[in-house]
């Protein structure tokens, strides 16, 4: 009997020794080779049939990347248990994909919660969210109790409020509701992302214990759902409760201040960020740049960018967007090229901003190069990037290329429809724009104010009075209240049709204050109007709204000159000189050898101007000589 105990103890000591030896394999340079040597010793000593040691070998082979050795170790193991099969399932998923793993899962002799979690995780990682959900329901029907890991996995990929509530109900029924921090935080996060802030708050208040992640998820969820003031209140409450904020907290609160356009509170949070040393975090720095950019503090945004410790895609994207939104297209493109040279891979957001800037600043050839970069980066299927391409080509006047890009888009959102309607309108295709608007209505999407602004502009350019009035009348039916841009287009349509009185009546019936553009349409239309009193009234109203515009003075002066009102003409011209009115000069761009040059109207001095005008002079002389020669020959 004593000998049996001694043999058992020796066996246990041997197993313990080899277990420690196997675990130490990862401390050497080549763990896979060391593990093979130990495995060979186990086989030599007859210990390879030990299930525990066999499982350890399979696990470590998998961790070291030796999947083939892990498979051989599994097949050579005579006494396989549930742990062995679970490890085999992981190996099959990593090496052969989720479908092969599912075949192994279906023929497993027994399955526990780890088995189900492995295959559900595989479906989620592979993007098969519906199949993951179906497997979870099958797991529940098989009377296998889900773990906290099961719920946290499923909650991370939920895209629908009903699914989130169903998982929430399962958690509560199983009694694991709010005792687990990870599950509770996942619930707060998913409800916040789905805009269900009341559910998110209910979970937060019901949790037995909360941490910084809980507060961050709550604050971030409020920001995403449009409850920025409540997010700021939670931030203050978090400090009073003794929780230390981190980079994620500061980033979320800065985003809340940005959405509110609250510069003062944003500055306070930014000062706290500097005090805590969070400015070195690029997510925080990019949020600060967004804040100053959206609050029209360009110089502050540039200062934050220049003082940043690191240079990555997050901070680079924010600065590119800042430049683009403040009409510094050249700076945006320059920063994009520099970041690209620094091996920072462009994101969808950066490419979208640069494409919109390119439509204003760069040549067609460079725009085509950006399109090639989009394809090379694999973003041609991205809706935002594709829509920006449509916008760029439409600004170039290449409507056929814009239509080709739009035709290749997998799905259209409302921004895509709006961009395409405006593109057709601005490129002389108002009929096609109106037809596209009708297709939008049939698609089930609800048009917004930008949609109506685009289609009414199309009616204005095409002179479609009846269609324009019908579309304008349908706006409130679609839940859109007419704004200045909609009234302006309708007024333009009416004045083009000669219905000036109707346009003036429209201005008096508006629910908002008429803009200067609306009075401009009417003033242009009634320039030759017989009633001088009306011209004076409209011109004076426009002078009040657009004091630096020369148009009302010019039209009024012409009207006085046509009617022989010389004193009034002189008075108007003197007033015009006194007000210092000026016209905005038009600008043209030309691309030469990769460089863009801008020329203002009537500009006589610019870079290389002397050479340009010298060449033009020589060309004109040659043309004149050739004309004279041809005339002489004909004579």
pLDDT tens per residue across span 65-105: 666 777 777 777 777 788 888 888 888 888 788 888 888 88
235 or 511, which is more confident?
A: 235
End-to-end CA distance of the chain: 138
| Average pLDDT rounded to a whole number, residues 296-322 | 86
| Average pLDDT rounded to a whole number, residues 29-40 | 56
Q: Model confidence at 135, in pLDDT bands (50, 70, 90)?
A: confident
429 or 570, which is more confident?
A: 429
| Average pLDDT rounded to a whole number, residues 281-309 | 89
Q: At what angle do helices 551-562 and 566-579 cross, to 10 degrees?
A: 170
Q: Model confidence at 528, in pLDDT bands (50, 70, 90)?
A: low
pLDDT for residue 421 is more than 90: yes
Residue 600 domain flag: yes
pLDDT for residue 50 is more than 70: no
Q: Model confidence at 33, in pLDDT bands (50, 70, 90)?
A: low
pLDDT for residue 454 is more than 90: yes
What is the model's pLDDT at position 171? 81
What is the model's pLDDT at position 635? 59
Burial label for 504, CB within 10 Å (0-12, 13-18, 19+), is buried
Residue-wise pLDDT tens digits, 186-209: 888 888 888 888 888 988 988 888
Query: Which stretches does DSSP call E strand in 307-434?
Result: none
Residue written as token pair 């209910």: 202
* Average pLDDT over all residues of the chain: 80
Residue-wise pLDDT tens digits, 486-498: 888 888 888 888 7
Q: At what angle do helices 51-63 and 82-96 cross, to 10 degrees?
A: 20
**Secondary structure string (H, E, C) spanning 331-354:** HHHHHHHHHHHCCCCCCHHHHHHH
Which tokens hold the place of 202? 């209910």
8 Å CB contact between 363 and 596:
yes
pLDDT for residue 36 is more than 90: no
pLDDT for residue 162 is more than 60: yes
Provide the 10 A C-beta neighbour count for residue 394: 24
What is the model's pLDDT at position 48? 58
Report angle CA 266, 271, 272 to the nearest 5 degrees: 95
Provide the 10 A C-beta neighbour count for residue 454: 26
Residue 621 domain flag: yes
Which tokens hold the place of 407? 């035709």
587 or 263, which is more confident?
A: 263
Residue 155 domain flag: no
| Average pLDDT rounded to a whole number, residues 151-179 | 78
β-partners of residue 595 are 592
What is the model's pLDDT at position 595? 60
Residue written as token pair 């030796």: 66
Percent of the chain with pLDDT over 70: 83
Backbone phi, psi, residue 277, to 5°: 75, 30
Residue 464 domain flag: no
8 Å CB contact between 354 and 332:
yes
Mark 179-209 as b/e (b = at least 16 C-beta within 10 Å).
ebbebbbbbbbbbbbbebbebbbebbeebee
Lowest mean pLDDT among 261-270, 327-336, 411-420, 497-506: 497-506
Alpha helix positions (H), 444-582: 449-462, 465-473, 484-496, 500-509, 516-525, 532-545, 551-562, 566-579
What is the model's pLDDT at position 430? 92
**Range from 12-16, 37-41, 202-206, 595-599 that averages highest in pLDDT:** 202-206
Residue 619 domain flag: yes
Which tokens hold the place of 315? 């901070």
167 or 579, which is more confident?
A: 167
Percent of the chain with pLDDT over 90: 17
Burial label for 39, CB within 10 Å (0-12, 13-18, 19+), is buried
CA distance 393 to 248: 39
Short-list 375, 370, 441, CA closest to 408: 375
> What is the domain count for the chain?
1
What is the model's pLDDT at position 492? 84
What is the model's pLDDT at position 450? 93
CA distance 83 to 80: 8
Provide the 10 A C-beta neighbour count for residue 210: 20
| Average pLDDT rounded to a whole number, residues 298-312 | 85
Residue 399 domain flag: no
| Average pLDDT rounded to a whole number, residues 95-117 | 85
| Average pLDDT rounded to a whole number, residues 623-629 | 78
Residue 598 domain flag: yes
Alpha helix positions (H), 126-180: 129-141, 148-156, 161-173
| Average pLDDT rounded to a whole number, residues 414-442 | 92
Query: Residue 592's domain spans which residues?
Result: 587-634
pLDDT for residue 43 is more than 70: no
Q: Give the distance between the most distant pair of CA atoms in the chain.
A: 138
pLDDT for residue 291 is more than 70: yes
What is the model's pLDDT at position 2? 44
What is the model's pLDDT at position 295? 92
Residue 603 domain flag: yes
| Average pLDDT rounded to a whole number, residues 25-52 | 57
8 Å CB contact between 555 and 525:
no
8 Å CB contact between 590 and 599:
yes
Rg (CA), the chain: 35
Q: Model confidence at 8, in pLDDT bands (50, 70, 90)?
A: very low
Alpha helix positions (H), 157-246: 161-173, 181-193, 197-206, 212-224, 228-240
| Average pLDDT rounded to a whole number, residues 381-409 | 89
């Amino acid at each position: 009997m004593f000998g049996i105990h001694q043999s058992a103890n020796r066996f246990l000591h041997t197993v313990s020794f080899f277990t420690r030896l196997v675990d130490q394999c990862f401390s050497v340079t080549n763990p896979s080779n060391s593990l093979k040597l130990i495995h060979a010793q186990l086989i030599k000593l007859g210990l390879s049939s030990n299930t525990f040691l066999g499982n350890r070998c399979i696990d470590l082979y998998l961790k070291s990347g030796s999947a083939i050795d892990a498979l051989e170790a599994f097949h050579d193991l005579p006494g396989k248990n549930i742990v062995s099969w679970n490890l085999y399932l992981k190996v099959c998923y990593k090496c052969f994909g989720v479908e092969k793993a599912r075949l192994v899962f279906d023929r497993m002799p027994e399955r526990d919660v780890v088995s189900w979690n492995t295959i559900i995780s595989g479906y989620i990682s592979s993007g098969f969210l519906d199949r993951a959900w179906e497997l979870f329901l099958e797991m529940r029907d098989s009377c296998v109790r889900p773990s906290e890991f099961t719920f946290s996995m499923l909650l991370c990929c939920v895209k629908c409020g009903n699914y989130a509530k169903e998982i929430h109900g399962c958690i509560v029924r199983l009694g694991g509701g709010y005792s687990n921090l990870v599950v509770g935080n996942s619930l707060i996060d998913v409800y916040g992302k789905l805009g269900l802030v009341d559910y998110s708050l209910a979970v937060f208040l019901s949790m037995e214990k909360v941490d910084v992640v809980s507060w961050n998820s709550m604050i971030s969820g409020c920001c995403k759902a449009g409850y920025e003031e409540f997010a700021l209140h939670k931030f203050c409450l978090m400090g009073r409760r003794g929780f230390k904020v981190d980079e994620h907290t500061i980033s979320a609160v800065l985003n809340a201040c940005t959405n509110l356009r609250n510069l003062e509170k944003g500055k306070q949070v930014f000062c706290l960020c500097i005090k805590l040393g969070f400015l070195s975090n690029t997510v925080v720095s990019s949020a600060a740049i967004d804040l100053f950019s959206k609050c029209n503090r360009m110089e502050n945004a540039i200062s934050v960018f220049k003082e940043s410790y690191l240079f990555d895609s997050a901070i680079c994207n924010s600065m590119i967007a800042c430049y683009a939104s403040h009409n510094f297209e050249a700076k945006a493109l320059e920063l994009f090229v520099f970041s690209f040279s620094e091996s920072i891979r462009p994101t969808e957001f950066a490419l979208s901003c640069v494409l919109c800037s390119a439509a204003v600043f760069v040549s067609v050839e460079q725009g085509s190069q950006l399109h090639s970069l989009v394809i090379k980066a694999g973003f041609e299927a991205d809706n935002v990037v594709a829509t920006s391409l449509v916008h760029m080509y439409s600004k170039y006047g290449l409507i056929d290329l814009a239509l080709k890009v739009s035709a290749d888009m997998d799905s259209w959102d409302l921004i895509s429809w709006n961009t395409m309607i405006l593109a057709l309108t601005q490129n002389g295709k108002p009929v096609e724009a109106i037809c596209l608007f009708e297709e939008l209505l049939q698609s089930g999407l609800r048009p917004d104010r930008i949609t109506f602004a685009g289609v009414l502009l199309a009616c204005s350019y095409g002179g479609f009075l009846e269609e324009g009035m019908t579309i304008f009348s349908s706006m409130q039916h679609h839940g859109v209240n007419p704004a200045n841009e909609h009234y302006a287009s309708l007024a333009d349509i009416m004045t083009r049709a000669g219905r000036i009185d109707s346009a003036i009546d429209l201005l008096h019936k508006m629910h908002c204050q008429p803009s200067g553009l609306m009075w401009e349409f009417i003033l242009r239309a009634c320039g030759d109007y017989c009633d001088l009193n009306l011209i004076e009234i409209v011109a004076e109203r426009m002078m009040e709204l657009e004091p630096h515009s020369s148009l009302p003075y010019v039209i009024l002066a012409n009207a006085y000159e046509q009617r022989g009102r010389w004193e009034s003409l002189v008075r108007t011209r003197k007033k015009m000189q006194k007000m210092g009115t000026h016209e905005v000069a038009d600008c043209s761009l030309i691309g030469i050898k990769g460089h863009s040059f801008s020329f203002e109207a009537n500009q006589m001095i610019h870079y290389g101007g002397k050479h340009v005008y010298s060449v033009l002079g020589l060309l004109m002389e040659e043309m004149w000589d050739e004309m004279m020669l041809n005339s002489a020959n004909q004579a």
